[in-house]
Amino acid sequence: MLNTAAYRLSHFLSSIMLILAGVVLTSQQGFASITWLHSFFSTLFEVLPILLLGLGGLLCLFYGRTRQAALLIVVYLSHYILANEADYFRTHGVVRESTALTFHMCSLLLPLLYGVYAAWSERAQLVQDLVARSAVLIAVTGVAVAMARRYPDDVLQWLVAIRVEQLQGPLTQALIQFSYAAFALTFLVLLIQYLRHPRVLHASQLVAVLGLYWMLLNTFMLPEALVVMSSMVMLALIVAVAQEAYQMAFLDELTGLPGRRALNERMARLGRNYVIAMTDVDHFKKFNDTYGHDVGDQVLRMVASQLRKVSGGGTAYRYGGEEFTVLYPGKSISECLPHLEALRRNIEEYRMRLRDKQSRPEDAKRGRNQRGQSKSQHVSVAISIGVAERSDEHRDPQEVIKAADQALYKAKEAGRNRVVAYGQKAVPATRRKAVATR
């Protein structure tokens, strides 16, 4: 099933920026007119592809991303083969006899091999995975080279033959028809891959296809297209690996909020004034026991989505389990209390529709009967919040967290679903229903 909530523009941002930067850097009106900048980039791009292959490849292998490592190799090899032909053309003003065959073969094999590797997910065994991928690469290129050496004319004729007359036009003349089909197929497969599993890695692979397509279109037209765009594509693939590594380390997988490690990092850089609020979902164990762990997870995601929107300049973190922390740098308790109270109220008032198996009909007939009767189950949850600020009594963040925890304990003791500041007496109020169903 498609998970539309998980699609993010941020998944695409870095790769789109890099590919666009490649287009700008290559354009003739762009940096070519600024001489010193042009010579700087020319020198940089002479070494960049091999550097990216080496360093990026190591990074990919370090994180077990054999897929991205294989993609780097495919992109680098294509760049290397085509650069030979393009350099000859630039130096002599004419192409080699073999150029057409080499270029058309690359324009078919690059999108195909790229698509196969990008859609081929990693296996548990790193070495086995690498061996399998290398075997495919060696077999495909081996057969292609052997065929091209043995029957160069036949292979060229087969490649350039126009199979669908209707598709032939001014916009589809730069590449062979097979190449357009291969790019379209790869793009489609990788789009489906992203829609089914929305990840930065998949987004980068998808955007990179466009970069490669643009690179082939301009290989002989724009002087730096090949080296610049292949570098940018490799960079986009590597940045995605680094981005996912960062997410793994700093973001909580269930809620998407920054996790404990990110909180510790942030706490090491706090100034003299700050407020820390510790929040805890009330009666969460009962929730899990009544509705199951999946619904419990759903509740945590809902609470996190409300916490993400907390006002007053606070940032929410998942502290662990059903506990969250809200950090207010440069604020005093009195400034934060109204915002935390608003957060508590928002969560209390939120009616969450259960999407679990319990609320689903057992069969299609019952489903039809139930439809329109608004029988779906709604639940609401409450949170308790303990708040403390930096003071002479609590000088470092760990002490402030402890104080906030003590205030949280008081909030729980006084009947839950309330905000209590450290040192403040928690007034017991009429008991509110923390888990309500209707």
Ligand X SMILES: Nc1nc2c(ncn2[C@@H]2O[C@H](COP(=O)(O)OP(=O)(O)OP(=O)(O)O)[C@@H](O)[C@H]2O)c(=O)[nH]1
**Least distance to ligand X, CB of residue 417, Å:** 9
At position 357, the amino acid (one-letter code) is: K
**Least distance to ligand X, CB of residue 315, Å:** 20
**Least distance to ligand X, CB of residue 258, Å:** 16
Q: Applying CB under 6 A, which of residues 282, 385, 403, 411 lies at the interface with ligand X?
A: 282
Within 10 angstroms of residue 381's Cβ, the number of other Cβ atoms is 23
Q: Among 28, 20, 19, 25, which residue's Cα sits nearest to residue 221?
A: 28
Which one of the spans 218-226, 244-252, 265-273, 282-290 is the region binding ligand X (CB under 6 A)?
A: 282-290
Here the tokens at position 320 are: 């662990």
Half-sphere exposure of 246 (CA within 13 A, CB side): 9
Within 10 angstroms of residue 343's Cβ, the number of other Cβ atoms is 25
Here the tokens at position 241 are: 């690996």
What CA–CA distance (Å, rounded) separates 332 from 350? 28
Q: Applying CB under 6 A, which of residues 122, 297, 356, 399 lies at the interface with ligand X?
A: 297
CA angle 159, 160, 161 (to 5 degrees): 95
What CA–CA distance (Å, rounded) separates 110 from 219? 14
Q: Which of 122, 322, 348, 362 is an active site residue? A: 322
322 is catalytic: yes
Backbone angles phi, psi at 377, to 5 degrees: -85, 135
Half-sphere exposure of 39 (CA within 13 A, CB side): 2
Q: Applying CB under 6 A, which of residues 259, 296, 386, 397 lies at the interface with ligand X?
A: 296
**Least distance to ligand X, CB of residue 243, Å:** 24
Q: Applying CB under 6 A, which of residues 60, 300, 326, 327 lies at the interface with ligand X?
A: 300
Tracing tokens 């960049």 back to the chain, one arrives at 48
Sign of the dihedral defined by the CA atoms of residues 389, 394, 399, 403, in that order: negative
How far CA 343 is from CA of 319, 340, 416, 428, in Å, comes to: 17, 5, 14, 20
324 binds ligand X (CB under 6 A): no
Residues 409-438 that bind ligand X (CB under 6 A): 412, 416
321 binds ligand X (CB under 6 A): yes
**Least distance to ligand X, CB of residue 301, Å:** 10
CA angle 100, 103, 104 (to 5 degrees): 80
Which one of the spans 20-28, 77-85, 163-171, 278-286 is the region binding ligand X (CB under 6 A)?
A: 278-286
- Of 84 and 288, which CB lies nearer to ligand X in the complex structure? 288
**Least distance to ligand X, CB of residue 408, Å:** 9
Which one of the spans 190-198, 275-283, 303-311, 357-365 is the region binding ligand X (CB under 6 A)?
A: 275-283
Bridge partners (DSSP) listed for residue 421: 387
Element spanning 25, H or E: helix 10-26
Residues 349-378 that bind ligand X (CB under 6 A): none
293 binds ligand X (CB under 6 A): yes
- Of 225 and 385, which CB lies nearer to ligand X in the complex structure? 385
Q: Applying CB under 6 A, which of residues 163, 285, 309, 375 lies at the interface with ligand X?
A: 285
What CA–CA distance (Å, rounded) separates 427 from 89? 83
322 binds ligand X (CB under 6 A): yes
Q: Residue count at the site for ligand X (CB under 6 A)?
A: 17
Which one of the spans 145-153, 167-175, 260-268, 292-300 is the region binding ligand X (CB under 6 A)?
A: 292-300
- Of 17 and 414, which CB lies nearer to ligand X in the complex structure? 414
What CA–CA distance (Å, rounded) separates 256 from 240? 17
Element spanning 276, H or E: strand 274-281
Give the contact letters, 230-259, x = binds to ligand X (CB under 6 A), - = no.
Answer: ------------------------x-----
**Least distance to ligand X, CB of residue 292, Å:** 8
280 binds ligand X (CB under 6 A): yes
Which one of the spans 62-70, 73-81, 232-240, 280-288 is the region binding ligand X (CB under 6 A)?
A: 280-288
Sign of the dihedral defined by the CA atoms of residues 124, 128, 130, 132, in that order: negative
Q: Which residues bind ligand X (CB under 6 A)?
A: 254, 280-286, 288, 293, 296-297, 300, 321-322, 412, 416
The set of catalytic residues is: 322
